[in-house]
Structure 1
Amino acid sequence: MQHHHLNSYEDQVRTEVLFWHRKMTSAPSFTDRLSKKVQDKINGYIPEKVHKAITLTMEKLFKAVLFGAEYTTGRKMTNGSLVYREAYIKNQIAFYQKTASLEGAVTGAGGLLMGLADFPVLIGLKMKLLFDIAALYGFDVKDYRERLYILYIFQLAFSSQQWRNEVYKMIDTWEDFAKTLPEHAEDFNWRSFQQEYRDYIDLAKMAQLVPVIGAAVGAIANYKLVAQLGETAMNCYRLRLLRHSGSNNNDDTYPVNE
């Protein structure tokens, strides 16, 4: 009976991933294209100090994620069914939502400058969540290539639909792409990666992380952004796990590349 329950859970996950896969690969709608123009305009209105804060934070973030030990302490979960792992993961997302919304309320109350000061903290929280999710799905975050994958997940969550199509190609063909990467982080050309990465990130979405308008807005924005990030990460790892199990079982019912 329990076995049937686990199978039906995996079927449900497959269906969710399929819908998500279609969403990620769908062409930008008229509204998307329109909102991209609006976002480009908003980007022009975002103060230079916010642009600088985001750029500086990104640079620190890359160094911390690719080379630092700060995020890589999570031990991977080596056993447990998908339903068991995802129960843990959903708990983690809920915990980080509470923490991030509290952080958002504090910085929101302090206005823009305090928001800028805490901007790295808010991004750091979201990165820590992604590392936790990776480890709970059983991936070894000590491998810098897995840390790179985490950066792509973050990028996917904060891209406009035009860019999302491009970023998703990396996620979708990750196993092949990972084979082309150098074995050691020091040999990876992170400078050019960082410049490309910066272009893909939607500044208007990133600016949402800086609570400007007030405590309530900061709290709600962060609560929603953590949920969005958590959902993106779950589907990215599900995609890899389902492909892997599919290849083991000679099961082509899962559409790898439609």
Structure 2
Amino acid sequence: MTDYSIKIHNELQAWKRKMIKQSGLINQVSKKAQKKVNELIPEKVHKMITVSIKSMVKTTLVGSNITTNRRQATGLSLYERDELFKKKLLSFRKTAVIEGAGTGAGGILLGLADFPLLLSIKMKFLFEAAAVYGFDTNEYEERLFILHVFQLAFSSDEKRKEMLHIIENWEEQRKMLADIDWREFQQEYRDYIDLVKMFQLIPGIGAVVGAYVNYNLLDRLGETAMNAYRLRLLKVTP
């Protein structure tokens, strides 16, 4: 094992501990409140939202796969892949900040447009991440892996533990996965971002909040994606 591999191995262990760590009190209270709200929403509304987000994500997956450049990822060491990934993250994070500031400054109507725009940026970024680490997103299983990375980044404590287990054991787990639970996917994601995104709709501070929140959301997704692909490449065991 090289010095860099040892360094990454240690970083992965710290990251895994962070991912299974219990959320703070505020997040726990927020999650309980959101759960109560979800219970009050009629089932037909849940189904409508699920279908809409499923369609939105699948459309984004197709578009992202078409526009992703995979040629640059061949013959690179893990260090080179990590450095290239960090450059990609920097670029996408800037895009997300600009998008968040723009929609935040536009009030409620543009604020509502932020959801599909930011989702598109995140999915495109994950396709670029897969390419950097040498995985072919033409394969269905790789697109399925991307969705699990997304869920790992933006889910509740319990769901995050489940996703981490699947990603750590992907070679075995993928044989049992035909698709994801779209109802759970959209609900976990909405619950994760609803509270912080709500402040983006407030006139006067929306632009600042939108930029700040989007920066942090892309940062979290970047950290999650990088370590998820490192796990696969290094075959790290708990």
* Displacement after TM superposition at 1:9 (Å): 2.0
Q: Indicate how the Cα distance of structure 1 residues 111 and 55 shifts in structure 2: closer, same or farther if over 3 A, else same.
A: farther
Residue 3 of structure 2, aligned match among 3, 8, 13? 8
Counterpart amino acid of residue 227 in structure 2: N
Q: 2:85 touches 2:132 (CA, 8 Å); kept in 1?
A: yes
CA deviation profile, 1:204-227 (whole Å, cap 9, x unmatched): 425645732310000010011101
Matches within 5 A, 1:1-258: 7-26=2-21, 28=22, 31=25, 33-40=28-35, 55=50, 58-64=53-59, 68-74=62-68, 75=70, 77-181=73-177, 188=178, 190=179, 193-201=181-189, 203-206=191-194, 208-209=196-197, 211-213=200-202, 214-243=206-235, 254=236, 256-257=237-238
Q: Indicate how the Cα distance of structure 1 residues 53 and 14 shifts in structure 2: closer, same or farther if over 3 A, else same.
A: farther
CA deviation profile, 1:79-99 (whole Å, cap 9, x unmatched): 111111111110110111111
* Displacement after TM superposition at 1:25 (Å): 3.4
* Displacement after TM superposition at 1:157 (Å): 0.9
In the alignment, the residues of structure 2 paired with residue 100 and residue 69 of structure 1 have an alpha-carbon distance, to the nearest angstrom, of 18
* Displacement after TM superposition at 1:65 (Å): 5.1
Q: Indicate how the Cα distance of structure 1 residues 209 and 94 shifts in structure 2: closer, same or farther if over 3 A, else same.
A: farther
Q: Indicate how the Cα distance of structure 1 residues 166 and 151 shifts in structure 2: closer, same or farther if over 3 A, else same.
A: same
Q: 1:72 touches 1:131 (CA, 8 Å); kept in 2?
A: no
Structure 1: state its 5+ residue gaps.
1-5, 182-187, 244-253
CA deviation profile, 1:66-85 (whole Å, cap 9, x unmatched): 6x254344215121111111
Q: 1:100 touches 1:222 (CA, 8 Å); kept in 2?
A: yes
* Displacement after TM superposition at 1:101 (Å): 0.5
Counterpart amino acid of residue 205 in structure 1: I
Structure 2: state its 5+ residue gaps.
none
Q: Indicate how the Cα distance of structure 1 residues 162 and 180 shifts in structure 2: closer, same or farther if over 3 A, else same.
A: closer
Q: 1:101 touches 1:222 (CA, 8 Å); kept in 2?
A: yes
Q: Percent identity?
A: 44
Please, what is the CA RMSD of the aligned residues? 3.0
Counterpart amino acid of residue 92 in structure 2: Y
Q: Indicate how the Cα distance of structure 1 residues 162 and 178 shifts in structure 2: closer, same or farther if over 3 A, else same.
A: closer
